[in-house]
Amino acid sequence: MSKYTDYNFQPFLQDAIKKLGFTEPTPIQKEIIPLVLKGKSAIGQAHTGTGKTHSFLIPIVERIRADKEEVQAVIAAPTRELATQIYAELQKLIEETSIQAKLFIGGTDKQRSIDKLKTQPQIVVGTPGRIRDLVDEKALLLYTAPMLVVDEADLAFDMGFIEDIDKFASQMPETLEMFVFSATVPEKLQPFLKKYMSSPVHIKMDDKRPVADNLDFYLVSTRSKSKNSRLLEVMKTINPYLAIIFTNTRSQANYVADFLANNGVKAGRIHGDLSPRDRKKVMKQVRDLEFQYIVATDLAARGIDIPGVSHVINYELPSDLEFFIHRVGRTARAGNKGTSITIFEPSEEDAIVRVEKMGIPFQPKDIKNGELIDMKERNARQNREKKENEIDKKAKSLVRKPKKVKPGYKRNMKWEMDKVKKRERRLKNRQK
């Protein structure tokens, strides 16, 4: 199908899709939608920003029987923010219908969740732990639900939620259709997948470049300065609509946010130490454009759709370099332009090289007179050092330790080696 109007969706769903401004399905939507409609289990492997959320929401809504007051689909996401985001998108699809969907996430009153289940919703969206709690309480009845979506499965595994999903999935029908979405499908996830999925279709969106084409990647060395002072310099060169500054730990996020506050910059913060109420408050402030900057851990790098992000600043490279892709995927979304700025120390050069091998085309930049300017090749100094090393090696190979050593032999060897080095440098200079 080349257009959404080519699908034989119910009129209310076609209207909702049109209202969202969708005309053509994205590549992953073209692959996944027919599989969900047919009830064929699938693994969708794609990076963030590819439209995977609607690839499962749209066909699930199409299949829901509104006249049946029973759970027909379960959607599990590893973080509260991601579950809330999915639920918000789902509401846009069903707002003109009698289809009932409920959101169940941790950090909310469990008894109130149980009270909501006096009538079973047709679609359940939630975090694995809370869904499992409600199933264990026999408040949420999943034996009627043929469809299960596990979003960001590799993150769910890393956060220890696969056991929760396993527990409530075992309460679902034997003919369970499972749709798993993940940026990567690590080997450690395979036993879980094999347990519930019989010959699933594996859709892998094999982009040659793992990030958006309309995204620039600037690389700024600290040189002899501190990261803090370099960060302030970078911030003075840009005027973002909204920028996310990524750190690796919660304590570091608080440290950077406090540092910015002390320098007159009001910045929001998003990390796992915030209470559910505080996280909800920050997300509302972000949507209300109260911040120009957010300091965040990688919690915000996976799946949370923070609208209007024009810049991503890596204060630190992620411990797991794969997360670099997720971080920069927060910007340059829906055809908009974006900028990623990575501040790095010379000791992180090896990590930068590994990120480049992942397909990231860094542009070295320096800051002069309050502007980001192009730099010469980043490796120029390294290449000079490499040539020096080659000369050292040649000198060592030509000047050997004498079989019979005499007092002062080391000094004499050094003189001889210096002569060889001078000669080699002269030769190299002539060749230029």
pLDDT in tens, 82-100: 898 899 999 999 999 999 9
CATH classification (class only), 4-204: alpha beta
pLDDT given for residue 421 in this prediction: 78
Q: Reply yes or no on whether the pLDDT at 208 is more than 50.
A: no
Q: What's at 235, amino acid-wise?
A: M
Rounded to the nearest 10 degrees, the angle between the axes of helix 52-63 and helix 27-38 is: 30
Q: Is the whole model's pTM more than 0.85, yes or no?
A: no
Confidence at 329, pLDDT banded by 50, 70, 90: confident
Confidence at 407, pLDDT banded by 50, 70, 90: confident
pLDDT given for residue 362 in this prediction: 94
Can you tell me the mean pLDDT for 386-402? 68
pLDDT given for residue 379 in this prediction: 56
Q: Reply yes or no on whether the pLDDT at 412 is more than 90.
A: no
Rounded to the nearest 10 degrees, the angle between the axes of helix 52-63 and helix 11-20 is: 160
In DSSP terms, which residues pair with 189 in a beta bridge? none
Range with the largest mean pLDDT of 28-42, 77-91, 260-274, 298-312: 28-42
Query: What would the pLDDT profile of 30-65 be if each residue is shown by its tens digit?
Result: 999 999 999 999 999 876 667 889 999 999 999 999
Q: Reply yes or no on whether the pLDDT at 427 is more than 60.
A: yes
Query: What would the pLDDT profile of 211-220 be if each residue is shown by its tens digit?
Result: 667 899 999 9
CB within 8 Å of 116: residues ≥ 6 apart: 102
Can you tell me the mean pLDDT for 143-151? 97
pLDDT given for residue 276 in this prediction: 74
pLDDT given for residue 176 in this prediction: 95
Considering the chain, what is the average pLDDT of its residues?
87
Q: Reply yes or no on whether the pLDDT at 113 is more than 50.
A: yes
Q: Reply yes or no on whether the pLDDT at 386 is more than 60.
A: no
Q: Give the lowest-confidence range in 76-80, 294-298, 333-337.
A: 333-337
pLDDT given for residue 155 in this prediction: 83
- Rounded CA gap, 364 and 384, in Å? 18
Percent of the chain residues topping a pLDDT of 70: 92
- Rounded CA gap, 274 and 48, in Å? 24
- Rounded CA gap, 152 and 147, in Å? 17
Q: Reply yes or no on whether the pLDDT at 303 is more than 60.
A: no
pLDDT given for residue 381 in this prediction: 46
CATH classification (class only), 215-374: alpha beta
Query: Nearest 5°: phi and psi at 281?
Result: -65, -45
Q: Reply yes or no on whether the pLDDT at 384 is more than 50.
A: no
State the chain's maximal CA–CA distance in angstroms: 101
Q: Reply yes or no on whether the pLDDT at 383 is more than 60.
A: no
- Pair 283, 309: CB distance under 8 Å: no
Q: Reply yes or no on whether the pLDDT at 428 is more than 70.
A: no
- CA separation (Å) from 166 to 54, 148, 178, 193? 24, 11, 12, 10
**C-beta neighbour count of 399 within 10 angstroms:** 18
pLDDT given for residue 221 in this prediction: 94
